[in-house]
Amino acid sequence: MVCVEFLGPIKEESMHLDICDLHGLRAILQEKESVRPWLAMSAISVNDVLVEDLHTPLRDGDRVMVLPPVCGG
C-alpha cells in the first residue's frame, strides 16, 4: 500500500491505496471533488523527492505527498 498525504489547504484525509504508479493515483484523485481542482497546480513528491513523470513506479510503503503552491508545490 502507498500512503498519500495532502498538505495545506487541501482538505482531505490521508489515504492508503494499492497503486503501482502516479498515473493510477491521478485517476483516483480526479474522482475526488475536493482534490480535483488542486491537481493541475500541485507538485507531487514520492518519499520526499519531487517527481513529474506520471509513470514513476510506486512501491509498497512509499509516501506520496500532494503539495499545493502555498506549501512548496
The pLDDT tens digits for 34-73 are: 999 999 899 999 999 999 898 999 999 999 999 998 765 5
**Residue 9 maps to which CATH number?**
3.10.20.30
Q: What is the average per-residue pLDDT within 8-33? A: 94
Domain count of the fold of the chain: 1
The reported pLDDT for the residue numbered 69 is: 87
Alpha-carbon distance of 39 to 29, in angstroms, equals 8
| pTM score | 0.89
Q: Rounded to whole angstroms, what are the CA distances from 60 to 17, 40, 46? A: 9, 26, 12
Instruction: Please list, in sequence order, all residues whose beta carbon lies within 8 angstroms of the beta carbon of residue 70, skipping any fewer than 6 positions away.
Output: 8, 9
Alpha-carbon distance of 67 to 41, in angstroms, equals 9
Alpha-carbon distance of 71 to 17, in angstroms, equals 23
Task: Please give the residue range of the domain that contains residue 23.
Answer: 2-71
